[in-house]
Amino acid sequence: MRIALFVTCLADTMFPQAAIATVRLLERLGHEVAFPQGQTCCGQMHVNTGYQRDAVPLVRRHVDVFDTYDVIVAPSGSCVGSVRHQHAMVARRAGDERLAGRAESVARRTYELSELLVDVLGVTDVGAYYPHRVTYHPTCHSSRMLRVGDRPRRLLSEVRGLTLVELPAADQCCGFGGTFAVKNAETSTAMLADKMRHVLATGADVCAASDASCLMHIGGGLSRLRTGVGVVHLAEILASTEQAATSRAEILGSTEQAATSPAANRPAARP
Amino acid sequence: MTRRTFLGMPATAPPGVGHLRGAESFPAAARRGLADPQLRRNLRHATTTIRAKSGGVIAELPDWEQLRAAGAAIKADTLARLPELLEQLEARVTEAGGVVHWAADAVEANRIVTDLVRATGVDRVIKVKSMATQEIGLNEALVAAGITPVETDLAELIVQLGGDRPSHILVPAIHRNRAEIREIFLREMPGVDPTLTDDPTALAAAARRFLRQTFLSTPVAVSGGNFAVAETGTLAVVESEGNGRMCLTLPQTLITVLGVEKVVPTWRDLEVFLQLLPRASTGERMNPYTSMWTGVTPGDGPQAFHLVLLDNGRSAVLADEVGRQALRCIRCSACLNVCPVYERAGGHAYGSVYPGPIGAVLSPQLTGIEDNASLPYASTLCGACYDACPVKINIPELLVHLRAEAVESHRRPTAESIAMAAAAYAMDHPRLYAAGQRAARLSRFAGRRGRGLPPPLNGWTGSRDLPEPPAQTFRDWWADR
Ligand code: SF4
């Protein structure tokens, strides 16, 4: 199948490994990935901050760029949420009914990664190998806006070597919320503190999620506290294979060790 | 009976009266709650407990989703023909021996109630916990007129005696623990036993003794109302302590202040809400006390009944197609109890009698966005409130809608609006966008790393590390492969 990648601006700039992993995974599963060049950002930041008028050209650009593809995937629950629940709204508010209709059509063909894999491609075992203890943060937009449900967990449960540990209060927001983390930095930090407390309580090596923004937020907090626990995008787990893991370890040597094994200095926070 | 037409002439709630506006913005006011470990513990404990309890009883109902849909539909229908239903309500209440007053705003409502109390010749009234009277600042207005209002809901009484403000719709004293309550009682409650302990039973008994005396010696009561049935003119109050029922039955005169959105078309509609409300709100299957009354009944209960129909900005909310869904709210407080922001910042941070997610959308609509512009931003848009709301108010959608209003209400460009416009321009020009990505990366390599972002973005890096800058963007990687 030919699948267009909507990389999302944050993954493109700050989390390219998630997008690269998405490409590798889909190609390994035998699909052709296209990267439409004119794409930039879905405009979610503008819409969620109140700049709906500024978002209109971004919606139009997104629709123009992706209109010709039958299947579009993004490794981000919140950006797919924006495409599905905000694009038509922004267009209608600006009085552009035609754009709204086209946006709805693109939205119907746009999937979050776990939806694409499970619903469209019909796979849960993607042949991945990831020998680590992983806890999964479902992220608000994936679970409440998109209702991806247990799809990510079904995918993770088929990954060889992976131990999935339950995240307490998993459905609670991590406190990112885009501009919320800037405008209400202190409340955001308090929410993040609880999320980190729960992640550490699992004793997991890494916290996984399907949204670069939440990962950047949680990862930024875990790093600041020197917890030794990292974050990883679902796509990276699903893309990793035994072969890749071995060759990566050879190339990176001790760096890889430090990044993915439980660090000795991590606080003893197991329940 | 004077009658003023206010429907179709939407005006926002007037400033300087009532409690819909805070003195500070949300981030500034939240700082106090965040820094108070006792408050944080109290809130976490209370909201966690009530979430679990409510979740349990909701799970018992196989048709919860249909009930929610029914509740939302009844309210939407009500709002679509509000003028007609209010007139019907007025006619039925009048027929049943009540008197209906129309109050365009807080000032007018306070004046009506104060005049009614004065006319009875008393200088003290008992009150059933009521959001509407808090909204209009009725207690302050009564005090200014030399009338003492006594709150009879236990938590509301604690707040009143403590000279404090409520911080939760349902549990106004959620921010207080029992040691603090004991101190307040010892200091403020007339005739309290000086050896009072902080045992909850002892505290409740002390309050009961005080309230009993007050009930039996006060002939005028002021209440709010949860529902008003247009077809019969029936008013309903649901509560769990029984104090409300005392207020509604013992006095000679009863004055009810009711937000105009509280009307429902028919008696049968109550069936839906009397299931939705207790389960979503206190996690009970049924309200312990549901009191209903229709006008006056000679020889039984209050012999004079006044209904004050309050607008105070509601017509303005109704005029907004997206915003009007906030008027469906039945004040169950489920959205507060699931809100991660409310749980950390506390109710006072919202500066209004309506805290939490519903407050973040209702207050700015009632006052006009200019006066509460920080509230729609007091959310991560996580959506937990929407899932919890028994009448399916799409609070995240409303928040986004109000943020756009807040932005568009600025007459002059702000630093943020300039940055946003610049970002949108760059994002609409892929070359510029790629150049921006490169520039951002270079500036980070040039020494910003580790020190975080420049203001105003340093709020983020104050407590979090930005990830290591990637060696190349995805775009570059794709071009190279
Ligand atoms: S908005 Fe919904 S959940 Fe919140 S108090 Fe109102 S009815 Fe309850």
* ipTM of model: 0.89
Q: Do B464 and A192 touch (CB under 8 A)?
A: yes
Going by C-beta distance under 8 Å and a sequence separation of 6 or more, which residues neighbour residue B183? none
Output the CA–CA distances (angstroms, integers) from residue B388 to A185, B330, B348, in the order listed.
25, 13, 22
Predicted pLDDT at B166: 83
Cα-Cα-Cα-Cα torsion A146, A147, A149, A151, nearest 10 degrees, comes to -30
Give the residue from A127, A123, A141, A120 showing the smallest Cα distance to A4: A120
* SS3 state of residue B289: strand
Distance (Å, whole) CA A85 – CA B157:
44
Ligand 1 contacts CB of residue B85 (under 6 A)? no
Give the residue from B424, B363, B367, B370 showing the smallest Cα distance to B398: B363
Predicted pLDDT at A118: 97
How big is the CA angle at B317 (ends B313 and B320), to the nearest 5 degrees? Answer: 145
- Does an H or E element contain B257, and which? strand B253-259
Distance (Å, whole) CA B271 – CA B277:
10
Going by C-beta distance under 8 Å and a sequence separation of 6 or more, which residues neighbour residue B101? B1, B2, B112, B306, B307, B308, B309
Q: At what angle do helices A77-85 and A97-108 cross, to 10 degrees?
A: 140
A90-147: per-residue pLDDT in tens?
Answer: 999 999 999 999 999 999 999 999 999 999 999 999 999 999 999 999 999 999 999 9
Query: What token pair was written down for B245?
Result: 């029922």
Predicted pLDDT at A259: 42
Distance (Å, whole) CA B28 – CA B372:
13
Which of B387, B406, B460 is opposite residue A50, by nearest beta carbon?
A: B406
Distance (Å, whole) CA B190 – CA B171:
23
Give the mean model confidence (pLDDT) for residues A66-78. Answer: 95
Query: What token pair was written down for B174?
Result: 């959620």
Q: Among residues of chain A, what percentage have pLDDT more than 70?
A: 90
Q: What is the mean pLDDT of chain A?
A: 89
Q: At what angle do helices B154-161 and B200-217 cross, to 10 degrees?
A: 90
Predicted pLDDT at B440: 65
Predicted pLDDT at B380: 97
Distance (Å, whole) CA B266 – CA B269:
5
Ligand 1 contacts CB of residue B333 (under 6 A)? yes
The residue whose CA is least distant from atom 7 of ligand 1 is: B329
Question: Which A positions 19-38 lie with beta carbon below 8 A of chain B?
Answer: 19-20, 23, 35, 37-38
Distance (Å, whole) CA A20 – CA A22:
5
Question: Which B positions 379-398 lie with beta carbon below 8 A of chain A?
Answer: 379-384, 386-387
Distance (Å, whole) CA B210 – CA B191:
8
Chain B closest-CA separation from residue A247 CA (Å):
19
User: Burial of A250 by CB count in 10 Å (0-12 exposed, 13-18 middle, 19+ buried)?
Assistant: exposed
Ligand 1 nearest atom to the CA of residue B330, by list position: 7
Mean pLDDT lowest among A11-15, A26-30, A65-69, A169-173: A11-15
Distance (Å, whole) CA B323 – CA A12:
36
Q: Report chain A residues whose CB lies below 8 A from the CB of B376.
A: 50
Question: Which B positions 319-348 lie with beta carbon below 8 A of chain A?
Answer: 340-341, 344-345
Ligand 1 contacts CB of residue B262 (under 6 A)? no
Query: What token pair was written down for B280?
Result: 């979503």
How many C-beta neighbours within 10 Å does residue A133 have? 15
Q: Do B405 and A55 touch (CB under 8 A)?
A: no
Chain A closest-CA separation from residue B401 CA (Å):
7
User: Chain A contact for B453, CB < 8 A?
Assistant: no
pLDDT band at A271 (very low <50, low <70, confident <90, very high): very low
Chain B closest-CA separation from residue A125 CA (Å):
26
pLDDT band at A248 (very low <50, low <70, confident <90, very high): low
Q: What is the mean pLDDT of each run of 10 residues along chain B (481 residues)?
A: 51 92 95 92 92 96 97 97 97 98 97 98 94 96 96 91 85 84 92 90 92 93 97 96 92 97 97 96 94 95 97 95 97 96 95 96 96 96 97 97 91 81 79 73 51 54 72 86 83
Q: ω before B470 within 30° of 0 (cis)?
A: no
Q: Are B126 and B247 in contact (CB under 8 A)?
A: yes
Q: Do B427 and A144 touch (CB under 8 A)?
A: no
Task: Give the length of chain A.
Answer: 271
Handedness of CA B99, B100, B105, B108 (dihedral sign): negative
